[in-house]
Amino acid sequence: MPASGTPPQSADQAGSTDSTNHRPRRRRCPAVRLVLLTVIAVLLGASQAAPAVHLDPPDLSGLPEGAYVALGDSYASGFGVPPYAAGTDVTGGNTCRRSAGSYAHIVSERTGRTLEMGACSGARTRNFYEANESWGEAAQLDRLDPDTGLVTFSIGGNDAGFARILGDCIGSGDRGFLSAVGCSSDAEVTGAVDGAIDALAGKTTRDGVYSYESIMTDIGTRSPNAAVVAVGYPRLFPEQGGSGGLLLGRCHGVTKVDQRWINAKTDELNTAFKAAALRHGYLFADPTGNFERHELCGRHGSWMFGLLETGRFHPNTDGHRATADAVIKALGVANRTTQPAQLADVEAQAANARPIAAISVSRDGEQLTLDASASTDADGAIASIDWYVQHADGTEEVLTGARATTTVPTDEQAVVTAVVTDNQGKETFSSQVSPAAG
C-alpha cells in the first residue's frame, strides 16, 4: 500500500463494453446430440450429487475450560430456523427467537460445552450494555463472568441499518420493485450506513452505537480467560451479482448494483470487526468462503432465506452449519497460531479511506456520456471504475472504465451509478439521475 503521504491520483481508464460474437450454427446429427446431452446430464448429476470433501476436523486442544456463551443479533440467534426456545417468540412480547438450529448450538455440540444463549433477534451494540426489562432480557454482556471459557458473537448489522435497508429500501416501501432508484443511489441511505460502520470501527462516534473496540475490551474484562470468536457476516449475493426471483435480471428484486453495494458494506463491516478482534488477541470467524456459490441466487443453491420467506436475508439451516464450520475452524490450533500475524494487513484495510468519486453524466439526445476520471484516492490509487445504468423498463446495463457512453430513449430518464474502487478493494458508490431529454 502506498504511504499515507502519497498524493491523490486520478483515474483515467478508457471505457469499454463486452461484445458477443455470433457464429453460424453447425448441424449435428441426433445421435451426436443425444450423446452430448447424456454426458452433460451425467456431469451435472455428479457435480450436484457428489458429497462435500470432508477434511480432518480442526484440532481444538488447548481451549480454556468453562461454559460457552453466545451473544449477538438475529444472525446468531437463528431467526428463521424454528423451533425457538420457549418465551422467545411471543407475539407482542419477547421476539429474540433463539433457535436450536443456530450456529451456536452446533458449536456447542462440536466442542462439548454447555451453551448459554444470549443472542437476540434485532439486537444492536447497545443491547450488550442495556437490559430489555419488558422482555425479561438482561444486558448481553452480563452473561459473562470469569468462569466463561468460550464466547462467540455477531453484532453490528442492525447498527449499520441492514435490516431497514433490506426490509424497507429494497424488499418493500415506497420505491417498489421496478423503481430505478435503489439503495446504493440514495445518498441518505449510503451516508447513514457509512457513518454507522465508521462508528463501529471507532473512527467516529454515534449515539447508541458502541465501537467494536469497547465491546472487545469489556469482554476481556469480564471473561479474561475465555477464547473469544467474533463471527462475521456472510455476503448475501454472488460476487458478480445474481439473478432469480420474480424480476428478470435481479435477485429477489435487488438490482446488480445494490447487490454489489450490500456486499461491499458487509466486507467493510467484517474488516472493522476482524481488526478489533485481532487487536485484542481474539479470533475472527469469516463465513464468506463457506457461503461462496450458496449466496442468494448462488449457483449451487442458496443457504440464505429469500425475500418471500419468513427468515428473509438470514442464514437457513445449511447456512448455520456453514457458519459453525467457520467458527470451529477459527478455534483450531492452526488458526489460533497463524491468525494473529494477519493483524497488520487487516489494520491497514480497516484504516484505508474510501475513494472519492467525482462523476459527471451529460446527455445529448439519446446519448449519455459518463465520466469519473476526476475520482481520487487520498491514501492510494483508483484501481477500477464500473457503471450501472438503470433503465426505465427495469433493465440494468453495466459498463466499465473511467469514461463510457450509452444510449437511452429521449423520453426516458436513467439512474447512473459509478462504483469507484481503490487499490485495496474499497468501493465508493456515486449516482446521478439523467432526466428525460424529450
Q: How far is CA 354 from CA 209, 264, 265, 422, in A?
A: 21, 11, 11, 8
CA angle, residues 3, 272, 231, in degrees to nearest 5: 145
How is residue 386 written as a grid cell?
Answer: 464500473
**Known catalytic residue at 300:** no
Q: Which residues pair with 377 in a beta bridge?
A: 9
Catalytic member of 252, 294, 314, 320: 314
- From the list 301, 305, 332, the residue with the least C-alpha distance to 316 is 305
- 391 assigned to active site: no
- Type of residue at 264: A
Taking the CA of residue 25 as centre, how many other CA atoms within 13 Å lie in the half-sphere pointing to its CB? 3
Catalytic residues: 74, 314
